Amino acid sequence: TPRIFGNRIRHRSIHSIGKLAQSFHDIRFLSPNALAYGTDGIHPDLRSIHSLLRELSRIPDKDIFLGTFPGEIRPEFVSEEAVDLIARYCSNTRIHIGAQSGAESTLQKICRGHTLSDVWKAIDHCTDGGFTPVIDIIVGFPDETDEELLETVSFCQEVARIGYVHAHRFFPLPGTPLQGRVSRDLIPEVVSALGSLALSGRLTGSWNNPEIRFFSKISK
C-alpha cells in the first residue's frame, strides 16, 4: 500500500526467491501486481519477471502460478507478451485482474490509475491467450452513487459471459484517504444481480459482508 509504505517497491533477488521456492510444494506469488516484479510499479517491463520465471522453471517438480488470487495483476500490465510468458512457464489456466470497479467515474475518484478500456484490453489478451479472466471488483465505496453501482453490476454481467468475477465489499485501509470511512449500503437491485451471478457460479467473494473481505479458495 503506497500511502503506508511509500512508493518505492522492494523486490527480493531472483537468487533469494529461487532458494525459498525450493521449500514449497507449488510456487505462488502474493502481490498486488504480480507482473510488476523488477519495475517501478508504474511502467511495465517484462525483463525481470521473465528472468525470474525462467530461473524458477528449472526447479524440478514445481508448478508455478502467476496472476492467481490473491496475487492479481493490474490491467495495464497485461499484454500479449505477458500472457505468452505466463503460458510458457506457468500452470494456471486463469488470470486474476484487478479492475476494482466497473464505473469509469469511480476509477477516477479512487485514483486507480487505469481505465475500463485498459480492463477490457487485458481481458481480450487473456482470452486470446487461452486463459479465463477473473476480474476483481469492490462494491460499496463510501461516495459511490446508485448509478455507479449499477454500472459495476452491468460490467460484472458482461464479464460473467466470458469469465468470472471476484467481488468484495469496501473496507478502509489505515493511512489512506478513505481511512475511517464505512461501506455504503447496497441497493436491492445490486444485491439481486450479484446474488444471481453468485448462484450461477460466475461470481465469488464476500461482496455482501464487509467484515469477511478477502477469504477465498485459490483456483488454478
The per-residue pLDDT for range 136-158, each reduced to its tens digit, is: 999 999 999 999 999 999 999 99
Contact 190, 145 (CB under 8 A): no
Strand, helix or coil for residue 27: strand
Torsion angle (degrees, nearest 10) of CA 126, 127, 131, 135: 60
Cell of 129: 491467450
Q: What is the pLDDT of residue 31?
A: 85
* pLDDT greater than 90 at residue 219: no
How many other CB atoms sit within 10 Å of the CB of residue 54? Answer: 13
Domain 67-204: give its CATH superfamily: Aldolase class I (3.20.20.70)
Cell of 90: 506457468
Q: What is the pLDDT of residue 217?
A: 47
CA–CA dist 76, 97 (Å, integer): 10
Q: Which residue has the cell 505468452?
A: 84
Q: Per-residue pLDDT tens for 177-194?
A: 888 899 999 999 999 999
The helix (run of H) or strand (run of E) holding residue 155 is: helix 146-159
Contact 90, 96 (CB under 8 A): no
CA–CA dist 84, 61 (Å, integer): 21
Contact 171, 213 (CB under 8 A): yes
Residue-range domain boundaries for the chain: 67-204
